[in-house]
Chain A
Amino acid sequence: MLGLNKKDMTLLIVVTILTLSAPFILNPFPTDSAMAQFNAGYPDLMQRFAIFGIFAIGFNLLFGLTGYLSFGHAAFLGVGSYSVVWMYKLLDYNVIWGLPLAIVTSGIFALLIGFVSMRRSGIYFSILTLAFAQMSFNLAYSVLTPITNGETGLQVYNNDPQVLMGANEASSPHLFGLVMNSSAKVGVGAWEFTFNNGYYFCGVIAILVFYLSIRIFRSPFGMMLRAIKSNQTRMAYTGLNPRPYTLAAFVISGMYAGLAGGLLASMDPLAGAERMQWTASGEVVLMTILGGAGTLMGPVLGAGFIKYFENIFSKINDTVLHNWFAFLPDGLEDFVVFLIHPFIGKGWHLTLGILFMLVVTFLPGGLVEGGQRIAAMIKRTKEDEDTPAKTEPAE
């Protein structure tokens, strides 16, 4: 169905169901319970899951398939955001103008950067992309202020043209009147579930681009990219020119990043230069490796994992910890809080770093490999239970 084999179709259906029911799944704890702060089912975070999922899926098309490690993908994220905000300023708040433009401009950017960077491979390629991204960041931050509004960030002002703006049109991003930041809240017992337009918009796009990435993985083009990762020498001596293949992969993944950047600006009509900084480029590398580079689900899992940590762990502070450990004697309570303190709040990076090291050391295939190992273990225990039962009658 849809040009996919049974296994891929199942994966796509599972991802679709999980995406559409995320407001339930990510909200397992009742609103008033102590665990409620671990709930991730609020619009802002769910949107980030979907958007950074798209970013990581696109990054994986380049890194996972060809092995070319780009350290400059945040540049395309920024280009996408600026494109969308400019369309708000010139036309109106309908995201239908900005998103296609974000994909096109980031594609053109990727073509230029890729054309130069792809002349080298390995570490030199990574450094070239990093250099280009930092140049883009600095341009956006200072030189190109008329276009990017410098360090203030690009935003919509009252005196902007907005030529298509209707009299009754919403004054925040929307899709033909479907306002992104409006939500429906449904209370069920002690739980409250939030269904946000913006999240579902991002979610549906994420499912579509996930489907596209499966098709690319299974296509002859995808096979060529894996072949390039495997052996460039054989590729060249088989009459194939690796350069256009890798460049095409770079442009496609740049367009994914541009789309993700455009969606960020579709949720919140702002675009700032800091979105292009190298830390943002590094984050998508972490997401992909943490989840499992070269797998279909890996980057999505990695993106979810990191965004969850960033938003949930960073919110735990000392007061929360004192509440948790209030049952301990005073001195001991202070000591435990003192021990945990560096790993929470602003120190969430430390926790993430440790987890990243553990995953890379013990699960080189990322979270996906962890899942596969657990599945294999369950299968083995089942077989062990089955085997004696079968042999018994013979005795």
Chain B
Amino acid sequence: MGILEVKDVGKRFGGLQALGDVNLSVAENTVHAIIGPNGAGKSTLLNVLVGKLIPDTGSVMFDGQSVLGRKPYEINQMGISRVFQTPEIFIDLSVLENMMIPCFAKRDGSFRMHAIENMHDEKDIVEKAESMLEDMNMADKREMHAGSMSRGDKRRLEIGMCLAQEPRLLLLDEPTAGMARADTNNTIDLLKQIKDERDITIAIIEHDMHVVFSLAERITVLAQGTPLVEDTPENIKGHPKVREAYLGESA
């Protein structure tokens, strides 16, 4: 029984069957990659997992509880954090403030009114945010305006913000899309480090095979809204069906 269990999920947009009979099981403390050609339904599946879309059929269970019908913030509070394709951070706030917000969310839940206290008096939050920035090698940027950082730094901050919530499942949506090679390699190293140091399950959607094969322990190949195969990276590389549906096209 995996930490995330997707059963018979189907989603239709008008005449388009975006997902059909998707079954997926992500085992705890592994890195599971979901790959597939354009239009395979990867993003739709991800949006179902985080509560942005409600599927027409099937069930999605996280740690024994259904996520269907819950709002994104409720699913997040259950322990699922999401990293977006384009980094979603608070560009008008400082880097430290960016990091403090998930710390507040972890400690106080989805809403708490503390309108009179000074935020810098919240010692435990500031300390946690600062140590998280150190883990991300961003301690020197703490006073910086988050919007003025490079794409790679924004990505790093976003991942740090997700980790500050101590999620059990981290979802990454093409985390290296549009990145230079050096930034891509940095991101791979960061994710490897996270995987080694933390008790965390990572599910990653990715186009870049280099990223997928350097990280993943299990791979699911989606094509036309259904999983073709699920196996280890070694077996996926040589799988004829996969070559036909995906690697063959792009290679």
Seen from chain A, the residues whose Cβ lies within 8 Å of a Cβ on chain B are 3-5, 215-216, 218-224, 226-227, 229-231, 233-241, 244-245, 248, 252
- Are A240 and B91 in contact, CB atoms less than 8 angstroms apart? no
Find B115's partner among A5, A221, A235 (CB 8 Å cutoff). Answer: A221
Distance between Cα atoms of A99 and B8 in the complex (Å): 61
- Are B110 and A239 in contact, CB atoms less than 8 angstroms apart? yes
B71 close to A (CB within 8 Å): yes
Q: B142: shortest Cβ distance to chain A, in Å?
A: 15
**Nearest residue, chain B, Cβ from A228:** B90
- Are A240 and B101 in contact, CB atoms less than 8 angstroms apart? yes
Distance between Cα atoms of A219 and B121 in the complex (Å): 9
Find B111's partner among A223, A226, A240 (CB 8 Å cutoff). Answer: A240
Asked, given contacts A220-B104, A224-B104, A238-B102, whether A231 binds B110 with beta carbons under 8 Å apart, the answer is no
**Nearest residue, chain B, Cβ from A252:** B115
Asked, given contacts A220-B104, A223-B100, A230-B91, whether A236 binds B115 with beta carbons under 8 Å apart, the answer is no
**Nearest residue, chain A, Cβ from B117:** A219
- Are B119 and A223 in contact, CB atoms less than 8 angstroms apart? yes
Contact with A along B103-144 (1 / 0, CB 8 A): 011100111011111111110010000000000000000000
Stretch of B31-39, B76-84, B175-183, B240-248 lying at the A interface: B76-84
Asked, given contacts A221-B115, A238-B101, whether A226 binds B93 with beta carbons under 8 Å apart, the answer is yes
Asked, given contacts A231-B89, A237-B82, A237-B88, whether A220 binds B114 with beta carbons under 8 Å apart, the answer is yes
- Are B119 and A234 in contact, CB atoms less than 8 angstroms apart? no
**Nearest residue, chain B, Cβ from A248:** B113
Seen from chain B, the residues whose Cβ lies within 8 Å of a Cβ on chain A are 50, 71-74, 76-77, 81-82, 84, 88-93, 97, 100-102, 104-106, 109-111, 113-122, 125, 161, 165
Distance between Cα atoms of A222 and B109 in the complex (Å): 17
- Are B92 and A234 in contact, CB atoms less than 8 angstroms apart? no
- Are B89 and A219 in contact, CB atoms less than 8 angstroms apart? no
**A residues near B93, Cβ cutoff 8 Å:** 223, 226-227, 230
24 contacts between A and B (CB under 8 A): A3-B117, A4-B118, A5-B118, A219-B115, A220-B117, A220-B122, A222-B115, A226-B93, A226-B97, A230-B92, A231-B90, A231-B91, A234-B89, A236-B73, A237-B50, A237-B73, A237-B76, A238-B161, A238-B165, A239-B73, A239-B109, A240-B110, A241-B110, A248-B115
Other A-B pairs beyond A219-B117, A239-B110, 14, CB < 8 Å: A3-B116, A215-B118, A218-B120, A226-B97, A230-B92, A231-B88, A231-B89, A231-B90, A231-B91, A237-B81, A237-B84, A238-B101, A238-B105, A239-B73
Distance between Cα atoms of A240 and B88 in the complex (Å): 14
Q: A60: shortest Cβ distance to chain B, in Å?
A: 15
Q: A178: shortest Cβ distance to chain B, in Å?
A: 29
Asked, given contacts A226-B92, A227-B93, A240-B73, whether A219 binds B101 with beta carbons under 8 Å apart, the answer is no
**A residues near B109, Cβ cutoff 8 Å:** 239
- Are A215 and B115 in contact, CB atoms less than 8 angstroms apart? yes
7 smallest CB-CB distances across A and B, nearest first, come from A239-B76, A221-B115, A230-B90, A230-B92, A234-B88, A241-B110, A239-B105
- Are B116 and A219 in contact, CB atoms less than 8 angstroms apart? yes
**Nearest residue, chain A, Cβ from B82:** A237
Distance between Cα atoms of A237 and B122 in the complex (Å): 23
**B residues near A240, Cβ cutoff 8 Å:** 73, 101, 104-105, 110-111
Asked, given contacts A218-B119, A231-B90, whether A241 binds B111 with beta carbons under 8 Å apart, the answer is yes
- Are A215 and B116 in contact, CB atoms less than 8 angstroms apart? yes
**B residues near A244, Cβ cutoff 8 Å:** 111, 113
Asked, given contacts A226-B93, A229-B92, A237-B81, whether A219 binds B76 with beta carbons under 8 Å apart, the answer is no
**Nearest residue, chain B, Cβ from A245:** B111
Q: A253: shortest Cβ distance to chain B, in Å?
A: 12
**Nearest residue, chain B, Cβ from A237:** B82
Distance between Cα atoms of A345 and B162 in the complex (Å): 59
- Are A223 and B101 in contact, CB atoms less than 8 angstroms apart? yes
**Nearest residue, chain A, Cβ from B146:** A230
Q: A363: shortest Cβ distance to chain B, in Å?
A: 19
Q: B87: shortest Cβ distance to chain A, in Å?
A: 9
Asked, given contacts A218-B119, A221-B113, whether A241 binds B71 with beta carbons under 8 Å apart, the answer is yes
Distance between Cα atoms of A80 and B31 in the complex (Å): 59
Find B72's partner among A219, A222, A237 (CB 8 Å cutoff). Answer: A237
Distance between Cα atoms of A268 and B240 in the complex (Å): 86
- Are B119 and A219 in contact, CB atoms less than 8 angstroms apart? yes
- Are B119 and A227 in contact, CB atoms less than 8 angstroms apart? no
- Are A224 and B116 in contact, CB atoms less than 8 angstroms apart? no
Q: A245: shortest Cβ distance to chain B, in Å?
A: 7
Distance between Cα atoms of A222 and B119 in the complex (Å): 9
Distance between Cα atoms of A234 and B102 in the complex (Å): 10
Q: B241: shortest Cβ distance to chain A, in Å?
A: 34
- Are B161 and A221 in contact, CB atoms less than 8 angstroms apart? no
**Nearest residue, chain A, Cβ from B90:** A230
Distance between Cα atoms of A61 and B118 in the complex (Å): 16
**Nearest residue, chain B, Cβ from A243:** B111
**B residues near A236, Cβ cutoff 8 Å:** 71-73, 76
Q: A224: shortest Cβ distance to chain B, in Å?
A: 7
Distance between Cα atoms of A245 and B115 in the complex (Å): 10
Distance between Cα atoms of A216 and B118 in the complex (Å): 8
Distance between Cα atoms of A42 and B104 in the complex (Å): 48
**B residues near A5, Cβ cutoff 8 Å:** 118
Distance between Cα atoms of A128 and B75 in the complex (Å): 30
Find B73's partner among A215, A226, A241 (CB 8 Å cutoff). Answer: A241
Distance between Cα atoms of A5 and B119 in the complex (Å): 12
**B residues near A235, Cβ cutoff 8 Å:** 73, 101
